[in-house]
Chains A and B, each alone.
Chain A
């Protein structure tokens, strides 16, 4: 992925600032603020983390310490579609590791990486709790249950297909 720096528009920072100002107290609220920031920006860039640190009057290292501790927080932008393979135990014993390998092989990326076209990010997630449907894959929140290795291509193509349709519409 290119490392070109993306500047976020000021409005987004204003939105985050307004949220922080609306809190009764900022003491103990760092995790809550980071959740909101990730919702607004999509990920927590260095600039966003520093903005929060200055706004709260705490060292940037403290913010980064929390960001890097929790797996929900990400410092890299995600692809357009996030493929999450459940790696809970119930899914694992029903073959989720093979499904994950297949996705990695087909898309040529590892977990937590994004394809070059920016279309897909793969994540291995902890139990999403739909163990009756194991092994489970979710794409952007849509759940695919009892997934077999041979379903992997279909799932990927479903989303590639959507993209192709969109491009067609634009060209026409």
Chain B
């Protein structure tokens, strides 16, 4: 049991050896750590069996005490998974299959030889690179929210404590007033990472001001944007970080109960979170009188059941109460009337993940990164037609070009870059023209997209943008909850027109109708889901009007045919 900040620091010191090899310090104990990525992406490509084989062979060769195999969270380089990193040698192996375990033990562990074929090959220079920090994918990244993901074993609280977990909470509870905490968060300039970008400190302040015996703090882990997996990776890789932040937030706003609302589609994140909650309770880091103060705080988990709209905070709260996840009219905002009518603060996973480090390193440190109005870093899930699919964390203000061509390694197969969709089904496309726009909340809005939660889907010259818009509309139509007519009927009619267009049956009048309807749905829907649902259509119409025209039958096409058959027929049913 940890009853004071001193207790915590003692445990940290006692177990600091666990991380010695990874921090390149000399220490007693094993001489080598083999880190194997245990994120969902790498587990999907058999990293579990890599671990099993490594352990079996190490045992057979008599290295069991000497070399420790550790399952970590996500390294981010999903395209090259499963990832294995050997410390203290600082060698990064990619696409390791269970069969490779033998060579890793017999060559690397036994003889110290690097295994050439498992090293990452730089696609431009055609050289093998063994250090993580020398890879273009990692060079421009700054890991703040993702810190310790891919470094520590997320299921071992001693490793988390050795890495400094719960120090910020201890500092907050024993030395700071609630207003001081809120002040620090405000000064840091942190804005909500779920997409809206509302200042976190302000949200906390508003909830704190409400007078009620009972308040709640909720972690929104209902990451529904298809192709985005930032929150999942944080929860899988460093769950204690989020729990610590929730407790800090609970203290600041005056809540003793926290809820994590998580998608049931994330089994690994759920299981690691459950483990972390249990461990934190056992150590007295959740529960009654934390750090010997009179502050008590505990966290429970509520499971989603597959509804995109539940990422919207009022829907989420309804779902937490066991009801249909339909949104409420705002105001009152959850900060005033939320879970069971009590003031409730809802923050996103990534937002929380930034909090402890803001406390320990100071708001000035955090605010030194980023742009004028968007501070810190942002995690993006880079996917689609891009060489380096993966999870990247970059300072706000970086350009799209740097993300796609430097970190992402460009477009596969020598194809041309066409567009990137940010903000998922709520966002819009950015094109060639925006490649050099610094990315932050406001610049993305000004070019007709949005930050969103951080999904970034890259499209190449072969992708037809009308089909992409239709794909997103089908998604939002499906996920629209049906509460308001604009959302329920509007998205359906928009989808029908898009289908008519892609089947070559539409006229110019349909295009006009679609445009009008898009703005109508945007202006008159009840909640964020359908207010933003038309964005992919509006944005593709703005940037790729020509592609819409190519489908239209009542205008003259250069081909001289009545109906133009587009080159790319993705999604078109005969």
Contact = CB atoms under 8 A, between A and B. Distances in A.
B227 A69 contact: no
Contact of B306 (A70, A92, A145): A70
B442 interface: no
B40 A66 contact: no
B250 interface: no
Top-10 shortest CB links A-B: A132-B78, A70-B305, A90-B383, A88-B226, A30-B322, A71-B306, A89-B227, A131-B383, A127-B226, A129-B229
A93 interface: yes
A73 to B, nearest CB: 6
B322 A87 contact: no
Contacts of B325: 69-70
B44 A133 contact: yes
Given A30-B323, A31-B305, A32-B322, A94 B384 contact: yes
17 contacts: A27-B322, A66-B323, A72-B264, A72-B305, A89-B472, A90-B384, A90-B389, A90-B457, A93-B459, A125-B265, A126-B226, A126-B306, A131-B41, A131-B389, A132-B45, A133-B44, A143-B44
Interface in B187-226: 224-226
Interface centre among B41, B79, B80, B226 (most CB of A within 10 A): B226
Given A35-B264, A94-B384, A69 B307 contact: yes
Interface of A: 27-32, 34-35, 65-66, 69-73, 87-95, 97, 125-134, 136, 143, 145
B477 to A, nearest CB: 13
A141 B390 CA distance: 22
Nearest to B412: A94
Interface of B: 40-41, 44-45, 78-81, 224-229, 232, 264-266, 302-308, 319-326, 340, 381, 383-385, 389-390, 421, 424, 455, 457-459, 463, 468, 471-472, 481, 570-571
Contacts of B45: 130, 132-133, 143, 145
Given A70-B306, A132-B78, 11 more contacts: A28-B320, A28-B321, A31-B305, A32-B303, A35-B305, A70-B307, A71-B306, A89-B383, A126-B226, A128-B40, A130-B45
A126 B224 contact: yes
Nearest to A58: B322
A136 to B, nearest CB: 7
A136 B384 contact: no
A89 B306 contact: no
Contacts of B471: 89, 92
B457 A128 contact: no
A83 to B, nearest CB: 16
Most chain B CB within 10 A, of A28, A69, A72, A91, is at A69
Contacts of B44: 128, 130, 133, 136, 143, 145
Contacts of A30: 322-323
B282 to A, nearest CB: 20
Given A65-B324, A69-B481, A134 B383 contact: yes
Given A89-B227, A127-B226, A69 B324 contact: yes
B384 A93 contact: yes
Contact of A132 (B79, B224, B455, B472): B79
A21 to B, nearest CB: 17
Nearest to A125: B265
B229 A131 contact: yes
A93 B306 CA distance: 22
Contacts of B308: 126
A97 B570 contact: yes
A136 B265 CA distance: 15
Given A30-B323, A71-B306, A90 B227 contact: yes
Contacts of B229: 127, 129, 131
B323 A131 contact: no
Contacts of B385: 93-94
**Which of B229, B326, B340: most chain A Cβ within 10 A?**
B229
Nearest to A56: B322
Contacts of B457: 89-90, 93
A73 B228 CA distance: 23
Contacts of A136: 44
A89 B455 contact: yes
A94 B385 CA distance: 7
